[in-house]
C-alpha cells in the first residue's frame, strides 16, 4: 500500500499546476520568486492576521514602521479563514506572509511541520521573555524551543453579579432555600453552588424590569461556534485529577478519556442547566450571545474570555462595575481515571481551563533572508513589554500574559479600559489564579485539533438537543477521538504529541 509520493509532494504538484496557470500571474504584487522576497529596496513586511486584531496591530505598528522606513502589507481574514489559510500554507509549504498570528492550539500542526523560524535569543532578550507567565510560554514552545511570541493570554473567567450576591435580603433567601452562602467576593466556588445559584435566580424579577424573565446562567454552547471551550470549562473540575496530567486523551496510551464519568457528569449537568436556567435560545448560544445576556442584565453568572472588558464598555453593558470575577468553579469530587473512581477532596479542587490559549505571533520559515532582520525588529516592537501593556489595556481582545501586566492595577483601573480599581483587582487576581494554577488545563493542541473539536461539538450538541443521552453522546465522541487519533498517525503518536504540548 505504501507509495513514494508524500502528501507534501502530492499537494505541491497539484498546487503548482493550478497556481502557475491561474493564480501566480494574476496576483498583484505577488513575490516574483514565490518566497515573499521584497524586490524593492525598501524592506516590505507582510503580515497576515484577523480582520479586527490585524487592524489593531496595523494601527499600533504603522507609526513605528514609518519611523524606521519599512514597508507594510497586511492580509486580513476571518477567524476560521485565517486558520484555514495558515494550515493550508503549512501543509503545502507555500508562503503566506512573513509574520502571522495563529491560534496557539494549532502549534503542533504548524510548528511540527517546520513552518516557523525558531525565535532567536536576542529577540527573547529584547522582549523580556522571562516576564511571560510559564503557562503562556508553553503555548509558544515546542520541545523546549520557543517558536512564537506572546500576544494574548486567552482564558475563561468566571463572572458573576457581585451587587446581587452582596444584597443581604437575596443572600438570606438564597441560604434558606439552598443551604449555600452567596459570596460576593468569589462567586460560586463549586459547580454545585453554580447550579444552586442558576436555579435560584431563574424566574423572578431580580433585575427590576417588571417582568419575571430573568435567568441564572448563559453559556456558549452553539455547535460550530465556541461549544468546545464552553463544555471543557464546565468539565475540567470533574475530569482533571490534580495528580494526573492527562485530560483529553491518556498521555501514555493515547486512548480517549472523554467518556469517563467525570465528562458524563459535566455534560449531564450542563444540559440540565442550559435547558432550565438560561434564557430562551440558551441551548444554542454563541459566545457573543452569552456575553450579551450577562452584560444586558438577563443572567447572574457566566464564563467567557471577554467577560471583563466588554462588561466595562458602556456601549456593550448595563452592568458596569457590578461584576465580580474568579477562576472557574471547582468540585469536592473529581474523577480519578487511573484509579477508576470518584475521589473526595476536603477543599474544592479547581482545574481552570486555559481556553483557546490565545493568539500568538510567529515568523514564517519561508521569510526571505533579505528581510529577516527587519522582520525580527518588527516582532520585537510588537511584543515588547510596553507594547504588550498597550494591547491588554485597550479594548483589543487581548488578555494579560505577563507577570508585570498582572501587577499593573493602575493601568487597568484608570487606563483606556477604565475598569476602576475594584474590578481591575478582581480581574487581575482571576487571571493570575487561572494562569498560575497548578491544576490548570492546557487546551487541546496536539495534531488535528480541529477534527477533535468538531467531533466533541457534534456529540455534546446532540445531547443538548436531547437526541441522545449524555453517556451515549460521550461514547460517540470517544470513539470519534480514537478514530481521529488513528487517522493522524496512531494513538501512541498522538500521545507523544500531547506530552509535548504539556511540556512533559
Partner 1 sequence: MATAQRSVPPARGVLQFSIHDRLWKWLLLLPSLLMTTVLFIAPVVWTLYAAFTDLHLFRVGVETEWVGLYNFQKLLGNSSFWRTARNTVVFMLGVVPMQFLIGMVLAVCLDNVTRGLKLFRTWFLMPLMVSPVVVAFVIGRMLFQEDIGPINSLIRWLGFEGIPWLTHPNWAMFTIMVIDVWQWSSFMILMLMAGLQGVPYDLREAASIDGASFWQTFFRITLPLVLPIAATALLIRIIDAFKVVDIIMVLTGGGPGQATESVTLAIYRAGVKGGDLAFGSSQAYFLLLVMVVFGGAFLALTRRTMSQTKD
How near is the Cβ of 158 to partner 1 at its closest, in Å? 22
- For 449, the 3-state DSSP assignment is helix
DSSP H helical segments within 277-420, as ranges?
287-295, 307-312, 369-383, 385-392, 403-406, 409-414
- Give the three cell numbers for residue 243: 495528580
β-pairing verdict for 71-77 and 145-146: unpaired
Q: Which is nearer to partner 1, 343 or 454 (CB)?
A: 454
- Write the binding mask 14 to 43 for partner 1: x where contact by CB under 8 A, - elsewhere: x--xx--xx---------------------
CB of 300 to partner 1, least distance (A): 16
Near partner 1 by CB under 8 A, which window of 35-43, 343-351, 400-408, 464-472?
Answer: 464-472
Q: Which is nearer to partner 1, 57 or 366 (CB)?
A: 366
Q: Which CA distances in Å does 451 have to 446, 457, 482?
A: 11, 10, 11
- Considering only the stretches 187-195, 276-284, 352-360, 411-419, report the one whose residues sit in contact with partner 1 under the rule CB under 8 A: 276-284
Q: 464 in helix, strand or coil?
A: helix
Query: What part of residues 441-460 is at the interface with partner 1 (CB under 8 A)?
Result: 447-448, 450-451, 454, 458
DSSP E strands, 114-201: 141-142, 145-146, 149-150, 157-161
Q: How many residues appear in the chain? A: 504
Closer CB to partner 1, 14 or 253, in the complex: 14
Instruction: Give me the least distance between CB of 476 and partner 1, in Å please.
Output: 9
- 370 counts as binding partner 1 under rule CB under 8 A: no
CB atoms within 10 A of CB 467: 11
Alpha helices in 201-326 (DSSP H): 227-239, 261-276, 287-295, 307-312
CA dist 254 and 251 (Å) reads 6
List the x/- string, 81-100, binding to partner 1 by CB under 8 A: ---x--xx-xx---------
Locate 228 and state its grid cell.
Answer: 468546545
Q: Which residues contact 206 (CB under 8 A, 6 or more apart)?
A: 164, 170, 214, 300
Write each residue from 204 to 223 as x if it is in contact with partner 1 (CB under 8 A), else as -, in one continuous string: ------------------xx
Confirm or reject binding of residue 416 to partner 1 (CB under 8 A).
Answer: no
* DSSP secondary structure letter of residue 200: H
Region from 156-164, 273-281, 371-379, 393-401 binding partner 1, contact rule CB under 8 A? 273-281
Of 110 and 197, which CB lies nearer to partner 1 in the complex structure? Answer: 110
Among 464, 474, 477, 500, binds partner 1 (CB under 8 A): 464
Query: Is residue 7 a contact residue for partner 1 (CB under 8 A)?
Result: yes
Residue from 27, 373, 487, 492 touching partner 1 (CB under 8 A): that is 487
Quick note: the x/- pattern for partner 1 over 330-369, rule CB under 8 A, is ----------------------------------------
- Residue 263 to residue 239: CA distance in whole angstroms: 6
Inter-residue contact 219 to 234 (CB < 8 Å):
yes
Gap between the Cα atoms of 206 and 337, Å rounded: 41
- Report the Cα 363 to chain-centroid distance in Å: 21
* Residue 122 vs residues 140, 242, 468: alpha-carbon distances, Å: 16, 37, 55
Residue 489 contacts partner 1 per CB under 8 A: yes
Number of residues that bind partner 1 (CB under 8 A): 50
What is each CA distance from 147 to 131, 311, 355, in whole angstroms? 17, 34, 20
Judged by CB under 8 A, the residue of 370, 467, 492, 504 near partner 1 is 467
| Residue 134 near partner 1 by CB under 8 A | no
Residues within the interface to partner 1 (CB under 8 A): 1-3, 5-7, 10-11, 14, 17-18, 21-22, 80, 84, 87-88, 90-91, 109, 112-113, 222-225, 279-284, 293, 298, 447-448, 450-451, 454, 458, 461-465, 467-468, 487-489
Amino acid at each position: 500500500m505504501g507509495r513514494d509520493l508524500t502528501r507534501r509532494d502530492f499537494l505541491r504538484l497539484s498546487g503548482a499546476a493550478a497556481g502557475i496557470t491561474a493564480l501566480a500571474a494574476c496576483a498583484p504584487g505577488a513575490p516574483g520568486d514565490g518566497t515573499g522576497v521584497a524586490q524593492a529596496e525598501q524592506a516590505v513586511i507582510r503580515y497576515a492576521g484577523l480582520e479586527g486584531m490585524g487592524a489593531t496591530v496595523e494601527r499600533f505598528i504603522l507609526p513605528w514602521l514609518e519611523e524606521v522606513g519599512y514597508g507594510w502589507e497586511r492580509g486580513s481574514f476571518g477567524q476560521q479563514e485565517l486558520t484555514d489559510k495558515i494550515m493550508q500554507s503549512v501543509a503545502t509549504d507555500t508562503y503566506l506572509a512573513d509574520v502571522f498570528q495563529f491560534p496557539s492550539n494549532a502549534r503542533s500542526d504548524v510548528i511540527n511541520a517546520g513552518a516557523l523560524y525558531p525565535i532567536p535569543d536576542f529577540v527573547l532578550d529584547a522582549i523580556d521573555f522571562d516576564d511571560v507567565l510559564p503557562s503562556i510560554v508553553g503555548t509558544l514552545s515546542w520541545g523546549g524551543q520557543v517558536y512564537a511570541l506572546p500576544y494574548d493570554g486567552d482564558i475563561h473567567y468566571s463572572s458573576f453579579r457581585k451587587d446581587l450576591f452582596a444584597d443581604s435580603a437575596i443572600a438570606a433567601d438564597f441560604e434558606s432555600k439552598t443551604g449555600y452562602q452567596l459570596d460576593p467576593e468569589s462567586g460560586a466556588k463549586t459547580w454545585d453552588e453554580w447550579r444552586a445559584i442558576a436555579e435560584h435566580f431563574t424566574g423572578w424579577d431580580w433585575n427590576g424590569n417588571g417582568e419575571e424573565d430573568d435567568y441564572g446562567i448563559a453559556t456558549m454552547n452553539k455547535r460550530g461556534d465556541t461549544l468546545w471551550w464552553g463544555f471543557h470549562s464546565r468539565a475540567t473540575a470533574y475530569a482533571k485529577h490534580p495528580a494526573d496530567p492527562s485530560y483529553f486523551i491518556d498521555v501514555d496510551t493515547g486512548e480517549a478519556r472523554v467518556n469517563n464519568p467525570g465528562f458524563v457528569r459535566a455534560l449531564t449537568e450542563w444540559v440540565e442547566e442550559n435547558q432550565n436556567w438560561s434564557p430562551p435560545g440558551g441551548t444554542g448560544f454563541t459566545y457573543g450571545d452569552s456575553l450579551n445576556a450577562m452584560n444586558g442584565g438577563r443572567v447572574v453568572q457566566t464564563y467567557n474570555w471577554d467577560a471583563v472588558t466588554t462588561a466595562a464598555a458602556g456601549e456593550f453593558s448595563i452592568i458596569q462595575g457590578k461584576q465580580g470575577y474568579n477562576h472557574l468553579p471547582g468540585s469536592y469530587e473529581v474523577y480519578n481515571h487511573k484509579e477508576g473512581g470518584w475521589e473526595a477532596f476536603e477543599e474544592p479542587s479547581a482545574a481552570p481551563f486555559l481556553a483557546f490559549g490565545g493568539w500568538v505571533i510567529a515568523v514564517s520559515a519561508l521569510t526571505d533572508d533579505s528581510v529577516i532582520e527587519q522582520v525580527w525588529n518588527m516582532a520585537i516592537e510588537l511584543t515588547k513589554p510596553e507594547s504588550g501593556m498597550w494591547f491588554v489595556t485597550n479594548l483589543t481582545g487581548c488578555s494579560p500574559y505577563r507577570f508585570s501586566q498582572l501587577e499593573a492595577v493602575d493601568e487597568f483601573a484608570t487606563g483606556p479600559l477604565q475598569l476602576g480599581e475594584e474590578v481591575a483587582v478582581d480581574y487581575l487576581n482571576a487571571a493570575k489564579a487561572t494562569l498560575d494554577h497548578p491544576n490548570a488545563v492546557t487546551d487541546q493542541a496536539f495534531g488535528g485539533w480541529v477534527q477533535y473539536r468538531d467531533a466533541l461539538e457534534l456529540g455534546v450538541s446532540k445531547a443538548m438537543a436531547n437526541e441522545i443521552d449524555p453517556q451515549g453522546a460521550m461514547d460517540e465522541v470517544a470513539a470519534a477521538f480514537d478514530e481521529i487519533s488513528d487517522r493522524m498517525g496512531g494513538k501512541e503518536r498522538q500521545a507523544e504529541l500531547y506530552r509535548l504540548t504539556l511540556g512533559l
